[in-house]
Amino acid sequence: MKGLYRILLPLVLLTVCLFAFPTQSIAEEYVFAGKWGVPGSGEGQLFHPEVVNTSNSKVYVTEYFNHRVQIFSTVGTYLGKLGLVGAISEDYLWPRSIAVGPSGDIYIAELNSKSIQKFDGNGNFILKWGSYGTGDMQFTSINGLAADSLGNIYVLDAYDYCIKKYSSGAVGMVGVTFIKKWGTNIPGEEQSYIQPEQIKGIAADSAGNVYVAEADPNRIHVCIKKFDTNGNFIRKWGSWGTSNEQFSTPWGLAVDSEGKVYVIDMIGCSFKKFDANGNFITKFGSYGSGDGQFYSPTGIAVDSFGTVYVADMNNNRIQKFVLAATSTTIIASTTITPSTTSTTRLMKSTTTTTRRPIGITTTTRRVPITIKIPIPGPGPTLPKY
């Protein structure tokens, strides 16, 4: 029994130490990390950028009034553009939205021709589909595009009151297949109700779940709706207002690799971050033209490093943000000095966040910590049973 006592006491003390030094957590906070763009129509200049997307260390920006999509590096270096006026197969003069597939293929919605055009990652034209109408391969008004990790494309067709899903196959594949559509304009069917010109943003996560932003000028349908990849309603969150969980005008949407959802609140001049269940995490932004301020932001994108890019439309620029939190978690660290001690080595998990131009690189190392736990001396003799 004496031996059992000598074994159990250190374990009890270790448990007390673990509860006495709980994990430290730091709330997420974003900081301004850069910007680019001046008003104009020249290379690298921007005029009312609307939608931003990112893939393979490139940032794609649509300019409806400049009739083009510009391509930048993640630090704002001009790399090229898509949208050759007069080229028959590449003639999208009014780019409304853009999505980038998992293999780097680029999809651009063109408002005037009611069509979607597909390019490879080098900007080479692959195919085009769509015309005006309500058929499976037609569109009335494309308000948004999204691509999931399998290469499926989701189209927000406002005046057909639906979301249309297509499969475009492997990278560079010439061909597209209609899969299904869902939605209705019947107000009583709240879960699938889609009102023209209210739906402003769409995004898909790695599991194929689809998120839609509804911005109602009458302040009735102001929310984010979530569907699974087959169009089944999962949940919705938000309402009109100014609290953390509310929106004035939800517009652009993005989903990161962890399933976190980012929502642009255009009139609120901010972006908000939620988990996949709609629980609020953090927000950033205010009205103005200074660093970290917005004037009618419309588009948002998140790269694989967690860096956030915002199309600051009326400030004619792209702004970039990174997480500022650096956390160190200490499992236990204390010293007790008895006459006789036993040394137990635990590990401290230290997370170091280094800010780089293209995002955040996080490394974790384990450092030993010494905890001295008392072992009693001879003391009284325990009874024998």
pLDDT digits (tens, 9 = 90+) for 154-186: 999 988 889 999 998 655 456 899 999 998 877
**Can you give 279-326 as a three-state secondary structure string?**
CEEEEECCECCCCCCECCEEEEEECCCCCEEEEEHHHCEEEEEEECCC
**Dihedral, CA atoms, 99, 101, 105, 108, nearest 10 degrees?**
-20
Ordered mean pLDDT values, 10 residues apiece, the chain (385 residues): 52 44 62 96 95 92 93 96 61 82 92 90 90 94 92 92 84 76 76 66 94 83 91 92 93 95 96 97 97 97 96 98 62 34 37 37 38 43 40
Q: Is 173 helix (H, G, I), strand (E, B) or coil?
A: coil
Q: Is 14 helix (H, G, I), strand (E, B) or coil?
A: helix
Per-residue model confidence (pLDDT) at position 83:
78
Query: What are 348's two structure tokens?
Result: 């401290």
Given the DSSP bridges, would you call strands 106-110 and 95-100 parallel, antiparallel or unpaired? antiparallel
Side-chain-side CA neighbours of 209 within 13 Å: the count stands at 22
First-to-last C-alpha distance (Å) of the chain: 9
C-alpha to C-alpha distances, 154 to 148, 212, 332, nearest whole angstrom: 8, 11, 49
Cβ–Cβ contacts within 10 Å for residue 264, how many? 30
Tell me the H-state helices in the chain: 2-20
pLDDT digits (tens, 9 = 90+) for 1-26: 555 545 555 554 444 444 444 444 45
Q: Are 336 and 372 in contact (CB under 8 A)?
A: yes
Phi-psi region of 250 (alpha: psi -120 to 50; beta: other; left: phi over 0): beta
Q: Order of strands, edge to edge, in the sheet holding 106-110?
A: 95-100, 106-110, 115-119, 125-129
